[in-house]
Amino acid sequence: METTIKNRGWQVTMAGMGINLALGVLYAWSIFKGAIKASIEKGGPGAFTWDHASINDPYAVCCLTFAFAMIVAGKCQDKIGPARTALIGGLLVGAGFTMMAFSPAYVAWVVGFGVLAGAGFGFGYSAATPPALKWFPSSKTGLIAGIVVAGFGVAPVYIAPLSSYLIGTFGIQQAMFFLAAAFTVIACGLSFLLANPPAGYVPAESPKADPTKAVAAKAKSSNDANVSEMLKSYKFYVLWLAFFIGAGAGLMVIGSVAGLAKKSLGPLAFVAVAIMALGNAGGRVGAGILSDKIGRKATLIVMLCLQSVMMFAALTVINTGSAALLVLLATFIGFNYGSNLALFPTFAKDYWGFKNYGMNYGALFTAWGVGGFVMGKVSEALNAQPGGMSKSFMLAGTLLLVGAALTTTLKTGTEKAKATEPAHAPVCMPSFMDEFTRGLGVLLGFVEAPAWNANRLR
């Protein structure tokens, strides 16, 4: 019977990536912010009259709403399916942008972008990855998750120039109408292509897959935990803090890099932003692939450490004023930040299974919103001081090393998986430096992906 089931895995994966490409309009906020600021300064009939200190409030509210909406959206995804959940997301984003189109009032934008669109981003994002993962074997979990979320990362490459053109040609509010219509149609249309596999569907493992890894993966798949069970696990809190640091540190400096690009590149500053977006998307796919080869834990340690190196390197780059070095720095920061968005959904699947995946990952994803909000505020406070930008980079680099150290405390398998592992299976818990150097070697192509520990977390 299983042979008669058509595998729709790649269709669902591409639909999920397309939805994220549309929902990536979140990253157009820097364009909206600049236009609002210009309108305030210009004044006149119909102009924005906000206080300058409140310009970023809709975005801050959006990030928090996005993160916490993931919990509700995850529950919906688990109960009513991904298609309906993504459809709700598309409608919410459309409603939010329509509200913004009708009024330049501060409240209208906080509610429209911050609450409605933020919730829509959460619903759409939460529905895109789970169904895609369910169509593929565990050996491709990282790759598929990376491809789906890459859509969100690469979106600024087209959204930034598109938004700039629409605002420059039609004005801020008319541009919101166009964006509302376009992204509602795209997100809602693609939502109908999302589907979970039928009950009993078991994806075939690759002929090259290690059979001992397949045994471990099968054991893990039976470990379906609900939210209350997940919250009793120390792993959740370690991952939440690591996600808080990894995402928060990346978000707190990405804005600073964009500002530095304007000083170094002038009108070509968008080049650095676009390259950072490509690095962001590449990090999601690259980290996903690497984690399938050397394990999630080792990959996360490598990425956090490399991101820390980039933060400390930024202390020198910002003083040189070199455009080339700035673009290179932006690429690596984007790459390492993007890796978080591929690794943590796969951690959630590996540790707590598929049954309640949507809500479980929604709870874990709150770290992204809280991290961006808290560390963004800290960065703003530091930047207001003399040498504050350097302090922001130093703080981010230090916290990333703390996150890497925290990650080493994760056990290399689930408790239920251990109970069903073959008696002869080797168990190994490598040290921090073992994990880091091994993972870095694979990342740079110096060594092959290890097969020495078939039972570590994939």
List, run by run, the mean pLDDT of 10-residue segments along the chain (458 residues): 67 93 84 86 84 84 89 88 94 95 93 95 91 88 89 85 89 93 93 88 64 48 78 93 90 66 66 79 89 91 93 81 76 87 90 87 90 80 73 89 93 46 39 50 47 38
Give me the pLDDT at residue 208, please: 52
- If one counts every other C-beta atom within 10 angstroms of the C-beta of residue 5, the result is 12
Give me the pLDDT at residue 399, please: 93
Q: DSSP letter at 116?
A: I
Residue 21 lies in a domain: yes
Question: What's the CATH code of the domain at 189?
Answer: 1.20.1250.20
Give me the pLDDT at residue 1, please: 41
Residue 453 lies in a domain: no
Q: Is the domain of 52 the same as that of 127?
A: yes
Q: Is the domain of 219 the same as that of 119?
A: no
Q: Is the domain of 157 the same as that of 258?
A: no
Give me the pLDDT at residue 200, please: 77
Residue 203 lies in a domain: no
Token readout for 458 is 């994939």
| 141-154 helix and 323-352 helix, angle to the nearest 10 degrees | 140
The Cα–Cα gap between 328 and 335 comes to 11
Q: 354 with 196: CB under 8 angstroms?
A: no
Q: Domain end: 165, 197, 229, which one?
A: 197
Give me the pLDDT at residue 5, please: 66
Q: Is the domain of 331 the same as that of 254?
A: yes
Q: Is the domain of 296 the same as that of 433?
A: yes
Domain hosting 392: range is 210-448
Q: DSSP letter at 205?
A: P
Tell whether the torsion through CA atoms of 159, 160, 162 and 164 is positive or negative: positive
Q: Is the domain of 288 the same as that of 420?
A: yes
The residue count for the chain: 458
Give me the pLDDT at residue 424, please: 38
Give me the pLDDT at residue 303, please: 93
Number of domains in the chain: 2
Q: Domain end: 197, 221, 255, which one?
A: 197
